[in-house]
A and B are shown apart, each in its own frame.
Chain A
Amino acid sequence: MNTRASFLVAAFTVLAFGYVAVLAQEGGRRPATVAGCSATDFAKFYSCAMEKTKTFNPPRTKDGLPDITGFWSRLVSTEDIQDRPEVVGQSAQKSLIVDPPDGKIPYLPWAVAQKKTNLEKYISPTAFCDVPGIPRMTYNFGKWQVLESATQVVFVPEAAGSVTRRIIPTDGRAHVPSSIRLWMGDPVGRWQGNTLVVDVTNLNGRTWFDAAGDFQTESIHVVEHFTLIDKDTMLYVADIEDPTAFSRPWKIAFPIPRYQGEDQEIWEIACHEGNKAVPPLLKGGYNRFPGAKPPASVR
Protein backbone atom coordinates (compact mmCIF):
# COMPACT_ATOMS: atom_id res chain seq x y z
CA MET A 1 0.00 0.00 0.00
CA ASN A 2 1.36 3.45 -0.78
CA THR A 3 1.93 5.98 2.01
CA ARG A 4 -1.01 8.18 1.09
CA ALA A 5 -3.42 5.28 1.10
CA SER A 6 -1.99 4.01 4.40
CA PHE A 7 -2.44 7.39 5.96
CA LEU A 8 -6.00 7.70 4.70
CA VAL A 9 -6.89 4.24 5.93
CA ALA A 10 -5.45 5.00 9.35
CA ALA A 11 -7.08 8.43 9.49
CA PHE A 12 -10.50 7.17 8.55
CA THR A 13 -10.27 4.17 10.83
CA VAL A 14 -9.68 6.62 13.63
CA LEU A 15 -12.46 8.94 12.45
CA ALA A 16 -14.93 6.15 12.21
CA PHE A 17 -14.13 4.34 15.41
CA GLY A 18 -12.08 6.50 17.74
CA TYR A 19 -10.05 3.39 18.52
CA VAL A 20 -6.74 5.20 18.14
CA ALA A 21 -6.04 5.08 21.85
CA VAL A 22 -6.55 1.32 21.90
CA LEU A 23 -4.43 0.77 18.81
CA ALA A 24 -1.60 3.02 19.96
CA GLN A 25 -1.62 1.53 23.41
CA GLU A 26 -1.67 -2.06 22.26
CA GLY A 27 0.74 -1.46 19.42
CA GLY A 28 3.13 0.36 21.70
CA ARG A 29 3.16 -2.21 24.44
CA ARG A 30 3.10 -5.39 22.43
CA PRO A 31 4.81 -8.02 24.58
CA ALA A 32 7.49 -10.30 23.16
CA THR A 33 5.84 -13.46 24.44
CA VAL A 34 2.43 -14.57 25.60
CA ALA A 35 1.83 -17.83 27.49
CA GLY A 36 5.50 -18.64 26.88
CA CYS A 37 5.10 -18.44 23.09
CA SER A 38 6.18 -15.73 20.67
CA ALA A 39 3.70 -12.86 20.53
CA THR A 40 5.24 -11.33 17.42
CA ASP A 41 5.96 -14.25 15.09
CA PHE A 42 2.59 -15.89 14.58
CA ALA A 43 3.88 -18.99 12.83
CA LYS A 44 6.09 -19.67 15.85
CA PHE A 45 3.21 -18.81 18.17
CA TYR A 46 0.92 -21.24 16.37
CA SER A 47 3.20 -24.28 16.65
CA CYS A 48 4.08 -23.43 20.26
CA ALA A 49 0.42 -22.90 21.21
CA MET A 50 -0.72 -26.10 19.47
CA GLU A 51 1.71 -28.02 21.73
CA LYS A 52 0.18 -26.34 24.79
CA THR A 53 -3.34 -27.31 23.78
CA LYS A 54 -2.28 -30.96 24.21
CA THR A 55 -1.53 -30.56 27.89
CA PHE A 56 -3.47 -27.55 29.22
CA ASN A 57 -6.58 -28.60 31.12
CA PRO A 58 -8.93 -25.59 30.98
CA PRO A 59 -11.27 -24.60 33.80
CA ARG A 60 -14.85 -25.81 33.29
CA THR A 61 -18.23 -24.13 33.45
CA LYS A 62 -21.09 -25.57 35.52
CA ASP A 63 -22.13 -27.41 32.36
CA GLY A 64 -18.72 -29.07 32.20
CA LEU A 65 -17.61 -27.12 29.11
CA PRO A 66 -14.25 -25.38 28.74
CA ASP A 67 -14.68 -21.99 30.39
CA ILE A 68 -13.71 -19.18 28.01
CA THR A 69 -15.96 -16.63 29.73
CA GLY A 70 -14.65 -13.24 30.76
CA PHE A 71 -13.07 -10.24 29.08
CA TRP A 72 -10.59 -10.54 26.25
CA SER A 73 -8.32 -8.05 24.54
CA ARG A 74 -6.59 -7.60 21.21
CA LEU A 75 -2.92 -8.07 20.52
CA VAL A 76 -2.93 -7.79 16.74
CA SER A 77 -3.92 -4.89 14.57
CA THR A 78 -6.53 -4.94 11.86
CA GLU A 79 -4.58 -2.81 9.38
CA ASP A 80 -3.08 -5.64 7.35
CA ILE A 81 -3.13 -9.38 8.03
CA GLN A 82 -0.08 -9.94 5.84
CA ASP A 83 3.49 -8.81 6.69
CA ARG A 84 3.32 -5.09 7.29
CA PRO A 85 6.16 -2.62 7.76
CA GLU A 86 5.95 0.20 10.25
CA VAL A 87 3.50 2.91 9.13
CA VAL A 88 2.29 6.14 10.68
CA GLY A 89 1.14 5.38 14.19
CA GLN A 90 1.48 1.63 13.76
CA SER A 91 4.41 -0.64 14.52
CA ALA A 92 5.33 -3.39 12.09
CA GLN A 93 3.40 -6.66 12.29
CA LYS A 94 4.24 -10.05 10.89
CA SER A 95 1.66 -11.88 8.84
CA LEU A 96 -1.15 -13.55 10.73
CA ILE A 97 -1.16 -16.22 8.03
CA VAL A 98 0.53 -19.38 9.29
CA ASP A 99 -0.34 -21.48 6.26
CA PRO A 100 0.82 -21.22 3.50
CA PRO A 101 4.27 -20.86 5.05
CA ASP A 102 5.11 -17.74 3.02
CA GLY A 103 2.44 -15.87 4.98
CA LYS A 104 0.72 -14.64 1.82
CA ILE A 105 -2.95 -14.88 0.91
CA PRO A 106 -3.11 -17.35 -2.02
CA TYR A 107 -5.17 -15.11 -4.30
CA LEU A 108 -6.20 -16.31 -7.74
CA PRO A 109 -4.89 -13.97 -10.51
CA TRP A 110 -8.18 -12.06 -10.91
CA ALA A 111 -8.28 -11.52 -7.15
CA VAL A 112 -4.79 -10.02 -7.12
CA ALA A 113 -6.11 -7.41 -9.55
CA GLN A 114 -9.26 -6.96 -7.45
CA LYS A 115 -7.21 -6.23 -4.33
CA LYS A 116 -5.35 -3.54 -6.27
CA THR A 117 -8.68 -2.06 -7.38
CA ASN A 118 -9.90 -2.17 -3.79
CA LEU A 119 -6.99 -0.01 -2.67
CA GLU A 120 -7.46 2.46 -5.49
CA LYS A 121 -11.24 2.79 -5.42
CA TYR A 122 -12.58 1.61 -2.11
CA ILE A 123 -12.06 2.10 1.59
CA SER A 124 -12.32 -0.42 4.39
CA PRO A 125 -16.04 -1.14 4.92
CA THR A 126 -15.63 -0.53 8.65
CA ALA A 127 -15.14 3.16 7.85
CA PHE A 128 -18.85 3.13 6.99
CA CYS A 129 -19.45 1.41 10.35
CA ASP A 130 -20.32 -1.79 8.55
CA VAL A 131 -19.79 -4.84 10.72
CA PRO A 132 -16.29 -6.31 10.41
CA GLY A 133 -17.51 -9.73 9.34
CA ILE A 134 -15.64 -12.97 9.93
CA PRO A 135 -12.79 -13.45 10.81
CA ARG A 136 -12.07 -9.69 11.17
CA MET A 137 -14.50 -9.50 14.08
CA THR A 138 -11.97 -11.38 16.21
CA TYR A 139 -9.21 -8.78 15.79
CA ASN A 140 -11.23 -5.60 15.37
CA PHE A 141 -12.12 -4.68 18.94
CA GLY A 142 -10.13 -3.55 21.93
CA LYS A 143 -12.17 -5.39 24.54
CA TRP A 144 -14.85 -8.02 24.32
CA GLN A 145 -16.74 -10.27 26.67
CA VAL A 146 -17.60 -13.95 26.29
CA LEU A 147 -20.59 -15.54 28.02
CA GLU A 148 -21.42 -19.22 27.84
CA SER A 149 -24.35 -21.51 28.44
CA ALA A 150 -24.92 -25.16 27.62
CA THR A 151 -26.45 -24.28 24.25
CA GLN A 152 -24.70 -21.12 23.10
CA VAL A 153 -21.65 -18.94 23.36
CA VAL A 154 -22.10 -15.18 23.13
CA PHE A 155 -19.46 -12.60 22.19
CA VAL A 156 -20.17 -9.00 23.13
CA PRO A 157 -17.52 -6.58 21.91
CA GLU A 158 -17.17 -3.01 23.04
CA ALA A 159 -19.17 -1.07 20.45
CA ALA A 160 -21.76 -3.80 20.77
CA GLY A 161 -24.44 -1.17 20.91
CA SER A 162 -24.17 -0.48 17.27
CA VAL A 163 -21.58 -2.64 15.62
CA THR A 164 -22.11 -6.24 16.42
CA ARG A 165 -22.32 -9.15 18.75
CA ARG A 166 -22.19 -12.85 18.02
CA ILE A 167 -24.63 -15.45 19.26
CA ILE A 168 -23.09 -18.83 18.46
CA PRO A 169 -25.48 -21.72 18.97
CA THR A 170 -23.88 -24.97 20.13
CA ASP A 171 -27.12 -26.96 20.14
CA GLY A 172 -26.48 -28.88 16.94
CA ARG A 173 -28.66 -26.80 14.65
CA ALA A 174 -28.02 -26.58 10.91
CA HIS A 175 -27.05 -23.50 8.91
CA VAL A 176 -29.79 -21.26 7.54
CA PRO A 177 -30.51 -21.74 3.82
CA SER A 178 -27.65 -20.63 1.58
CA SER A 179 -29.67 -17.93 -0.19
CA ILE A 180 -29.73 -15.90 3.05
CA ARG A 181 -26.59 -13.78 2.90
CA LEU A 182 -25.53 -12.06 6.11
CA TRP A 183 -22.98 -9.38 6.98
CA MET A 184 -21.85 -11.45 9.97
CA GLY A 185 -22.52 -14.84 8.39
CA ASP A 186 -24.32 -17.74 10.04
CA PRO A 187 -22.30 -19.31 12.87
CA VAL A 188 -22.81 -22.91 13.96
CA GLY A 189 -20.71 -23.84 16.98
CA ARG A 190 -19.67 -27.07 18.66
CA TRP A 191 -17.27 -28.11 21.40
CA GLN A 192 -14.58 -30.43 20.15
CA GLY A 193 -12.38 -31.50 23.05
CA ASN A 194 -11.27 -28.26 24.68
CA THR A 195 -11.91 -26.18 21.57
CA LEU A 196 -14.90 -24.08 20.55
CA VAL A 197 -15.24 -24.71 16.82
CA VAL A 198 -17.41 -22.24 14.89
CA ASP A 199 -18.40 -23.03 11.32
CA VAL A 200 -19.30 -19.81 9.50
CA THR A 201 -21.13 -19.73 6.17
CA ASN A 202 -23.68 -17.43 4.47
CA LEU A 203 -21.31 -14.43 4.53
CA ASN A 204 -22.22 -11.75 1.99
CA GLY A 205 -18.77 -11.08 0.46
CA ARG A 206 -18.91 -7.41 1.42
CA THR A 207 -16.48 -7.41 4.36
CA TRP A 208 -12.68 -7.28 4.25
CA PHE A 209 -10.04 -9.10 6.28
CA ASP A 210 -8.26 -5.84 7.09
CA ALA A 211 -7.90 -2.22 6.01
CA ALA A 212 -5.46 -3.18 3.23
CA GLY A 213 -8.04 -4.27 0.70
CA ASP A 214 -7.84 -8.01 1.45
CA PHE A 215 -11.27 -9.29 0.53
CA GLN A 216 -13.49 -12.34 0.27
CA THR A 217 -16.46 -13.43 -1.82
CA GLU A 218 -19.79 -15.02 -0.99
CA SER A 219 -18.16 -18.43 -1.42
CA ILE A 220 -16.10 -18.00 1.73
CA HIS A 221 -16.29 -20.64 4.42
CA VAL A 222 -14.50 -19.99 7.71
CA VAL A 223 -13.94 -22.53 10.48
CA GLU A 224 -12.80 -20.81 13.65
CA HIS A 225 -11.15 -22.47 16.66
CA PHE A 226 -10.94 -20.90 20.13
CA THR A 227 -8.77 -22.84 22.60
CA LEU A 228 -7.35 -21.86 25.99
CA ILE A 229 -3.59 -22.49 26.21
CA ASP A 230 -3.32 -21.12 29.74
CA LYS A 231 -5.90 -19.52 31.99
CA ASP A 232 -5.33 -16.07 30.47
CA THR A 233 -4.64 -16.80 26.81
CA MET A 234 -6.66 -18.17 23.93
CA LEU A 235 -5.28 -19.53 20.70
CA TYR A 236 -7.39 -18.36 17.77
CA VAL A 237 -7.15 -20.27 14.51
CA ALA A 238 -9.31 -19.68 11.44
CA ASP A 239 -9.30 -22.00 8.45
CA ILE A 240 -10.39 -20.03 5.42
CA GLU A 241 -11.49 -21.32 2.07
CA ASP A 242 -13.05 -19.47 -0.82
CA PRO A 243 -12.46 -21.25 -4.11
CA THR A 244 -13.72 -18.19 -6.00
CA ALA A 245 -10.93 -15.97 -4.66
CA PHE A 246 -8.13 -18.25 -3.43
CA SER A 247 -6.12 -21.05 -5.02
CA ARG A 248 -6.05 -23.09 -1.80
CA PRO A 249 -7.34 -23.02 1.80
CA TRP A 250 -5.29 -20.91 4.20
CA LYS A 251 -5.03 -20.36 7.89
CA ILE A 252 -4.54 -17.46 10.29
CA ALA A 253 -3.55 -17.83 13.96
CA PHE A 254 -2.78 -15.44 16.80
CA PRO A 255 -3.07 -15.13 20.58
CA ILE A 256 -6.00 -13.51 22.39
CA PRO A 257 -4.88 -12.32 25.84
CA ARG A 258 -7.33 -11.88 28.70
CA TYR A 259 -8.26 -8.24 29.31
CA GLN A 260 -6.56 -7.19 32.52
CA GLY A 261 -8.08 -3.73 32.99
CA GLU A 262 -10.29 -3.03 35.98
CA ASP A 263 -13.14 -1.77 33.80
CA GLN A 264 -14.68 -5.21 33.35
CA GLU A 265 -17.85 -4.00 31.73
CA ILE A 266 -18.91 -3.46 28.13
CA TRP A 267 -20.34 -0.04 27.30
CA GLU A 268 -22.03 1.17 24.15
CA ILE A 269 -19.87 2.86 21.54
CA ALA A 270 -22.21 4.02 18.82
CA CYS A 271 -20.44 4.10 15.45
CA HIS A 272 -22.82 5.06 12.64
CA GLU A 273 -24.64 7.58 14.83
CA GLY A 274 -21.61 9.86 15.06
CA ASN A 275 -19.83 8.87 11.88
CA LYS A 276 -18.66 11.98 10.06
CA ALA A 277 -16.18 10.11 7.87
CA VAL A 278 -18.47 9.15 5.02
CA PRO A 279 -18.98 12.49 3.18
CA PRO A 280 -15.21 13.29 3.06
CA LEU A 281 -14.53 9.72 1.96
CA LEU A 282 -16.95 9.96 -0.90
CA LYS A 283 -15.75 13.45 -1.84
CA GLY A 284 -12.17 12.16 -1.73
CA GLY A 285 -13.02 9.71 -4.49
CA TYR A 286 -13.30 6.63 -2.33
CA ASN A 287 -16.31 4.45 -2.92
CA ARG A 288 -18.18 1.88 -0.93
CA PHE A 289 -17.00 -1.66 -1.65
CA PRO A 290 -19.92 -3.30 -3.46
CA GLY A 291 -18.48 -6.82 -3.32
CA ALA A 292 -16.20 -8.31 -5.96
CA LYS A 293 -17.53 -9.45 -9.33
CA PRO A 294 -15.48 -12.58 -10.04
CA PRO A 295 -14.96 -13.54 -13.68
CA ALA A 296 -17.19 -16.30 -15.05
CA SER A 297 -14.24 -18.71 -15.17
CA VAL A 298 -14.11 -19.00 -11.37
CA ARG A 299 -17.78 -18.68 -10.50
Chain B
Amino acid sequence: MNRHVKVLQTTVAIAIATCSATIAAAQGTAYRAPRMADGKPDLQGVWQVLNTAAWDIQDHGGQLGVPAGQGVVDGNELPYQPAALAKKKENFAKRVTLDPETKCFLPGVPRSTYMPYPFQIIQFPDYVMIAYEYAHSTRLIRTDGQPHPETPDFWNGDSRGHWEGDTLIVDVTHFNDQTWFDRAGNFHSDALHVVERYTRTGPDHLLYEATIEDPKVFTRPWKISMPIYRRQEKNISLLEYECYSYAYDEDVQYFIKREGQ
Protein backbone atom coordinates (compact mmCIF):
# COMPACT_ATOMS: atom_id res chain seq x y z
CA MET B 1 0.00 0.00 0.00
CA ASN B 2 1.19 3.51 -0.80
CA ARG B 3 2.65 5.04 2.35
CA HIS B 4 0.64 8.27 1.93
CA VAL B 5 -2.59 6.38 1.64
CA LYS B 6 -1.68 4.45 4.81
CA VAL B 7 -0.95 7.68 6.70
CA LEU B 8 -4.19 9.16 5.46
CA GLN B 9 -6.12 6.06 6.57
CA THR B 10 -4.50 6.21 9.98
CA THR B 11 -5.28 9.91 10.30
CA VAL B 12 -8.91 9.36 9.34
CA ALA B 13 -9.14 6.43 11.77
CA ILE B 14 -7.74 8.53 14.61
CA ALA B 15 -10.14 11.31 13.71
CA ILE B 16 -13.08 8.88 13.80
CA ALA B 17 -11.93 7.37 17.09
CA THR B 18 -11.45 10.82 18.61
CA CYS B 19 -14.81 11.95 17.28
CA SER B 20 -16.69 9.00 18.74
CA ALA B 21 -14.87 9.47 22.05
CA THR B 22 -15.97 13.10 22.05
CA ILE B 23 -19.56 12.09 21.40
CA ALA B 24 -19.44 9.57 24.23
CA ALA B 25 -17.91 12.16 26.52
CA ALA B 26 -20.59 14.61 25.46
CA GLN B 27 -23.23 12.01 26.35
CA GLY B 28 -21.41 11.55 29.65
CA THR B 29 -21.69 15.21 30.54
CA ALA B 30 -25.40 14.74 31.11
CA TYR B 31 -24.26 13.48 34.51
CA ARG B 32 -21.88 15.58 36.57
CA ALA B 33 -19.73 13.44 38.81
CA PRO B 34 -19.40 14.40 42.45
CA ARG B 35 -16.10 16.07 43.23
CA MET B 36 -13.12 15.28 45.38
CA ALA B 37 -11.79 17.97 47.75
CA ASP B 38 -9.38 19.08 45.00
CA GLY B 39 -12.27 19.57 42.56
CA LYS B 40 -11.48 16.48 40.45
CA PRO B 41 -14.31 14.06 39.54
CA ASP B 42 -14.71 11.34 42.15
CA LEU B 43 -14.22 7.93 40.52
CA GLN B 44 -13.50 6.11 43.77
CA GLY B 45 -15.05 2.78 44.66
CA VAL B 46 -14.95 -0.92 43.92
CA TRP B 47 -15.89 -1.58 40.29
CA GLN B 48 -16.32 -4.55 37.97
CA VAL B 49 -17.49 -5.18 34.43
CA LEU B 50 -20.43 -7.40 33.51
CA ASN B 51 -19.59 -8.70 30.08
CA THR B 52 -17.78 -11.49 28.26
CA ALA B 53 -14.76 -9.51 27.05
CA ALA B 54 -12.47 -11.60 29.26
CA TRP B 55 -13.18 -14.54 26.94
CA ASP B 56 -13.29 -12.65 23.67
CA ILE B 57 -13.45 -8.90 23.04
CA GLN B 58 -15.26 -9.59 19.74
CA ASP B 59 -18.73 -11.02 19.11
CA HIS B 60 -18.61 -14.75 19.78
CA GLY B 61 -20.79 -17.82 20.14
CA GLY B 62 -20.72 -20.05 23.18
CA GLN B 63 -18.63 -23.15 23.90
CA LEU B 64 -18.01 -25.23 26.99
CA GLY B 65 -17.11 -22.74 29.71
CA VAL B 66 -17.56 -19.75 27.42
CA PRO B 67 -20.85 -17.85 27.34
CA ALA B 68 -21.82 -16.32 24.01
CA GLY B 69 -21.33 -12.61 24.03
CA GLN B 70 -21.51 -9.36 22.18
CA GLY B 71 -18.14 -7.76 21.67
CA VAL B 72 -16.78 -4.52 23.07
CA VAL B 73 -14.90 -3.46 19.92
CA ASP B 74 -16.32 -0.55 17.92
CA GLY B 75 -17.45 -2.13 14.63
CA ASN B 76 -16.39 -5.56 15.95
CA GLU B 77 -13.62 -6.12 13.39
CA LEU B 78 -10.00 -5.92 14.51
CA PRO B 79 -7.73 -4.41 11.82
CA TYR B 80 -4.99 -7.05 11.92
CA GLN B 81 -2.17 -6.97 9.42
CA PRO B 82 -2.20 -10.26 7.42
CA ALA B 83 0.68 -11.93 9.29
CA ALA B 84 -0.75 -10.82 12.62
CA LEU B 85 -4.15 -12.29 11.76
CA ALA B 86 -2.48 -15.64 11.13
CA LYS B 87 -0.78 -15.39 14.52
CA LYS B 88 -4.07 -14.53 16.20
CA LYS B 89 -5.59 -17.68 14.69
CA GLU B 90 -2.68 -19.73 15.95
CA ASN B 91 -2.99 -18.15 19.40
CA PHE B 92 -6.67 -19.10 19.44
CA ALA B 93 -5.91 -22.69 18.46
CA LYS B 94 -3.27 -23.00 21.20
CA ARG B 95 -4.92 -20.71 23.73
CA VAL B 96 -5.05 -23.30 26.50
CA THR B 97 -1.25 -23.24 26.76
CA LEU B 98 -0.30 -19.89 25.19
CA ASP B 99 -2.70 -17.53 26.96
CA PRO B 100 -0.59 -15.63 29.51
CA GLU B 101 -3.57 -15.72 31.89
CA THR B 102 -3.19 -19.49 32.12
CA LYS B 103 0.34 -18.87 33.42
CA CYS B 104 -0.98 -16.40 36.00
CA PHE B 105 1.01 -13.57 34.40
CA LEU B 106 0.07 -9.93 34.81
CA PRO B 107 -2.78 -9.20 32.37
CA GLY B 108 -1.64 -5.84 30.98
CA VAL B 109 -3.90 -3.03 29.81
CA PRO B 110 -6.74 -2.91 28.84
CA ARG B 111 -7.25 -6.61 29.73
CA SER B 112 -6.96 -5.91 33.48
CA THR B 113 -10.13 -3.84 33.29
CA TYR B 114 -12.44 -6.63 32.13
CA MET B 115 -10.98 -9.61 33.95
CA PRO B 116 -13.73 -11.26 36.00
CA TYR B 117 -12.47 -9.73 39.26
CA PRO B 118 -13.24 -6.42 40.95
CA PHE B 119 -10.85 -3.50 41.08
CA GLN B 120 -10.74 -0.43 43.27
CA ILE B 121 -10.04 3.17 42.28
CA ILE B 122 -8.54 5.38 44.99
CA GLN B 123 -7.67 9.00 44.33
CA PHE B 124 -5.05 11.19 45.91
CA PRO B 125 -3.83 14.64 44.90
CA ASP B 126 -1.49 13.97 41.93
CA TYR B 127 -2.22 10.22 41.84
CA VAL B 128 -4.98 7.84 40.83
CA MET B 129 -4.46 4.28 42.02
CA ILE B 130 -6.17 1.35 40.32
CA ALA B 131 -5.84 -1.70 42.55
CA TYR B 132 -6.91 -4.98 40.94
CA GLU B 133 -7.96 -7.97 43.00
CA TYR B 134 -6.13 -10.24 40.52
CA ALA B 135 -2.62 -10.94 41.90
CA HIS B 136 -2.53 -7.64 43.80
CA SER B 137 -1.83 -6.01 40.44
CA THR B 138 -1.58 -2.24 40.93
CA ARG B 139 -1.32 0.81 38.73
CA LEU B 140 -0.27 3.98 40.52
CA ILE B 141 -0.99 6.66 37.92
CA ARG B 142 0.63 10.08 38.26
CA THR B 143 -1.70 12.91 37.25
CA ASP B 144 0.72 15.78 37.88
CA GLY B 145 1.87 16.17 34.31
CA GLN B 146 5.06 14.12 34.55
CA PRO B 147 5.83 12.62 31.13
CA HIS B 148 6.54 8.94 30.51
CA PRO B 149 10.09 8.26 31.66
CA GLU B 150 12.69 6.41 29.64
CA THR B 151 12.09 2.95 31.01
CA PRO B 152 12.27 -0.66 30.04
CA ASP B 153 9.04 -2.44 29.19
CA PHE B 154 6.48 -3.42 31.79
CA TRP B 155 3.72 -6.04 31.83
CA ASN B 156 1.17 -3.35 32.74
CA GLY B 157 2.95 -0.59 30.81
CA ASP B 158 3.69 2.87 32.17
CA SER B 159 0.55 4.91 32.89
CA ARG B 160 0.32 8.71 33.03
CA GLY B 161 -3.03 10.41 33.58
CA HIS B 162 -4.71 13.77 33.23
CA TRP B 163 -8.21 15.12 33.62
CA GLU B 164 -10.30 16.58 30.81
CA GLY B 165 -13.60 17.80 32.20
CA ASP B 166 -15.28 14.82 33.84
CA THR B 167 -12.96 12.29 32.22
CA LEU B 168 -9.77 10.71 33.48
CA ILE B 169 -7.52 10.05 30.49
CA VAL B 170 -4.67 7.61 30.97
CA ASP B 171 -1.90 7.27 28.41
CA VAL B 172 -0.20 3.87 28.62
CA THR B 173 3.05 2.97 26.85
CA HIS B 174 6.22 0.90 27.47
CA PHE B 175 4.45 -2.45 27.19
CA ASN B 176 6.18 -5.74 26.60
CA ASP B 177 4.84 -8.05 23.89
CA GLN B 178 3.75 -10.79 26.31
CA THR B 179 0.17 -9.90 27.21
CA TRP B 180 -3.02 -10.56 25.30
CA PHE B 181 -6.34 -8.73 25.03
CA ASP B 182 -8.48 -11.75 25.90
CA ARG B 183 -8.62 -15.54 26.12
CA ALA B 184 -9.29 -15.76 22.36
CA GLY B 185 -5.71 -14.99 21.34
CA ASN B 186 -6.07 -11.33 20.40
CA PHE B 187 -2.61 -9.92 20.93
CA HIS B 188 -0.29 -6.96 20.47
CA SER B 189 3.42 -6.15 20.17
CA ASP B 190 5.72 -3.99 22.29
CA ALA B 191 4.64 -1.04 20.12
CA LEU B 192 1.23 -1.04 21.84
CA HIS B 193 -0.08 2.36 22.88
CA VAL B 194 -3.33 2.56 24.82
CA VAL B 195 -5.31 5.67 25.71
CA GLU B 196 -7.95 4.95 28.33
CA ARG B 197 -10.86 7.16 29.27
CA TYR B 198 -12.80 6.76 32.52
CA THR B 199 -15.99 8.82 32.80
CA ARG B 200 -18.74 8.65 35.44
CA THR B 201 -22.13 8.30 33.78
CA GLY B 202 -24.15 7.96 36.96
CA PRO B 203 -23.86 7.28 40.68
CA ASP B 204 -22.98 3.64 40.08
CA HIS B 205 -21.56 3.55 36.55
CA LEU B 206 -18.40 4.37 34.67
CA LEU B 207 -17.98 4.46 30.91
CA TYR B 208 -14.66 2.86 29.99
CA GLU B 209 -13.17 3.54 26.60
CA ALA B 210 -9.76 2.61 25.27
CA THR B 211 -8.16 3.51 21.97
CA ILE B 212 -5.57 0.97 20.91
CA GLU B 213 -2.81 1.45 18.38
CA ASP B 214 0.02 -0.87 17.50
CA PRO B 215 1.56 -0.24 14.08
CA LYS B 216 3.38 -3.59 14.18
CA VAL B 217 0.15 -5.58 14.50
CA PHE B 218 -2.79 -3.46 13.31
CA THR B 219 -3.39 -1.35 10.22
CA ARG B 220 -5.16 1.43 12.15
CA PRO B 221 -6.16 2.38 15.71
CA TRP B 222 -9.30 0.77 17.07
CA LYS B 223 -11.49 1.28 20.07
CA ILE B 224 -13.27 -0.64 22.80
CA SER B 225 -15.88 0.67 25.20
CA MET B 226 -18.00 -0.77 27.98
CA PRO B 227 -19.85 0.23 31.11
CA ILE B 228 -18.30 -0.60 34.47
CA TYR B 229 -20.54 -1.18 37.44
CA ARG B 230 -20.10 -0.22 41.06
CA ARG B 231 -20.22 -3.25 43.35
CA GLN B 232 -23.31 -2.72 45.44
CA GLU B 233 -22.60 -4.95 48.42
CA LYS B 234 -22.50 -2.85 51.58
CA ASN B 235 -19.54 -4.86 52.85
CA ILE B 236 -17.64 -4.93 49.56
CA SER B 237 -13.95 -5.16 50.16
CA LEU B 238 -11.19 -5.93 47.69
CA LEU B 239 -9.80 -9.29 48.75
CA GLU B 240 -7.21 -11.26 46.77
CA TYR B 241 -6.80 -13.71 43.93
CA GLU B 242 -3.23 -15.00 44.22
CA CYS B 243 -3.28 -16.90 40.93
CA TYR B 244 0.24 -18.34 40.85
CA SER B 245 0.36 -19.00 44.59
CA TYR B 246 -2.73 -21.20 44.23
CA ALA B 247 -1.27 -22.79 41.11
CA TYR B 248 1.91 -23.85 42.93
CA ASP B 249 0.01 -25.47 45.80
CA GLU B 250 0.93 -29.12 46.35
CA ASP B 251 -2.64 -30.32 46.02
CA VAL B 252 -2.90 -28.51 42.69
CA GLN B 253 0.61 -28.57 41.20
CA TYR B 254 -0.80 -26.89 38.14
CA PHE B 255 2.48 -25.53 36.83
CA ILE B 256 4.30 -28.80 37.46
CA LYS B 257 1.66 -30.73 35.53
CA ARG B 258 1.93 -28.20 32.72
CA GLU B 259 5.70 -28.68 32.54
CA GLY B 260 5.08 -32.38 32.05
CA GLN B 261 2.82 -31.75 29.09
Given contacts A160-B138, A162-B135, A183-B242, contact A273 B250 (CB under 8 A): no
Whether A149 and B124, one on each chain, are in contact in the complex, defined by CB atoms closer than 8 angstroms, is yes
Would you call A184 an interface residue if the criterion is a C-beta within 8 Å of the partner chain's C-beta atoms? yes
Indicate whether A278 sits within 8 Å of B122 (C-beta atoms), given known contacts A176-B239, A180-B239: no
Residue in chain A with minimal CB distance to B105: A273
The A interface is mostly helix, strand or loop, or mixed, namely loop
Shortest Cβ gap from B102 to chain A (Å): 13
Q: Decide: B124 and A147 in contact? CB cutoff 8 A.
A: yes
Specify which chain A residues have a CB less than 8 angstroms from the CB of B63 in the assembled complex: none
The A-B contact count (CB < 8 A) is 99
Does B136 lie within 8 Å of A128, measured CB to CB?
Answer: no
Determine if A211 is an interface residue (Cβ-Cβ < 8 Å).
Answer: no
CA distance A270 to B127 in the complex (A): 21
Query: What 1/0 flags go to B115-153 for Cβ under 8 Å of A?
Result: 000001011100101010001111010100000010100
* Cα–Cα distance between A154 and B245 once the two chains are bound (Å): 23
> Is the pair B239, A182 in contact by a Cβ cutoff of 8 Å?
yes
* Inter-subunit contact B136/A266 (CB<8 Å): no
Q: Which residue of A lies closest to B155 (CB)?
A: A270
Flag if A131 contacts B238 (CB, 8 Å): no
> Which residues of B are found within 8 Å of A62, using beta-carbon distances?
37
Q: Is the CB of B259 within 8 A of A279?
A: yes
Q: How far is the CA of A223 from the CA of B217 in the complex (A)?
A: 51
Nearest chain B CB to A208 CB, angstrom units: 14
**Inter-subunit contact A184/B255 (CB<8 Å):** no
Instruction: Pick out which of these stretches binds chain B: A3-11, A104-112, A163-171.
Output: A163-171
B104 to A, closest residue via Cβ: A272
- Given A288-B248, A288-B249, are A163 and B105 also a contact pair (CB < 8 Å)? no
Given contacts A62-B37, A176-B237, A273-B106, contact A265 B249 (CB under 8 A): no
Residues of B within 8 A of A270 (CB): 105-106, 154-155
Give complex CA distance A163, B249 in Å: 17
A102 CB–B CB distance under 8 Å: no
**Known contacts A149-B124, A152-B122, A268-B154; A162/B242 CB under 8 A:** no
How many chain B residues sit at the interface, stated as a range, is 35 or more
- Is the C-beta of A91 less than 8 angstroms from some C-beta in chain B? no
- Closest B residue to A279 by CB, please name it: B259
Nearest opposing residue in chain B for A266, CB measure = B140
Which residues of chain A (192-223) have a CB below 8 Å from chain B? 206
User: Given A130-B245, A167-B238, A268-B155, do A184 and B250 touch, yes or no (CB 8 Å)?
Assistant: no
Count, chain A residues at interface, CB 8 A: 41
Q: Assess whether B154 is in contact with A267, with CB atoms less than 8 Å apart.
A: yes
Bound CA span A169–B235, Å:
13
- The residues of B that contact A290 with a CB separation of less than 8 Å are 249-250
Query: A287 at the A/B interface (Cβ < 8 Å)?
Result: yes
Whether the pair A265, B149 counts as a contact (CB closer than 8 A) is yes
Given contacts A182-B239, A184-B136, contact A167 B154 (CB under 8 A): no
A129 at the interface (CB under 8 A from B): yes
The answer to the question of A282 belonging to the interface, with a C-beta cut-off of 8 Å to chain B, is yes
Q: A115-129 CB contact bits vs B (8 Å, 1 = yes)? A: 000000000000011
Please measure, in the bound complex, the distance between the C-alpha atom of A180 and the C-alpha atom of B235, giving whole angstroms: 14
Is B240 an interface residue when CB atoms closer than 8 A count as contact? yes
Asked if B26 is at the interface (CB within 8 A of a chain A CB), the reply is no
Known interface pairs A154-B122, A206-B245, A272-B104; 8 further A-B residue pairs with C-beta atoms within 8 A, sorted by A's residue number? A147-B127, A149-B123, A162-B137, A167-B238, A267-B158, A272-B244, A273-B105, A290-B250
Chain A to chain B: the 6 pairs with minimum beta-carbon distance, closest first: A268-B154, A164-B136, A272-B244, A160-B138, A165-B138, A147-B124
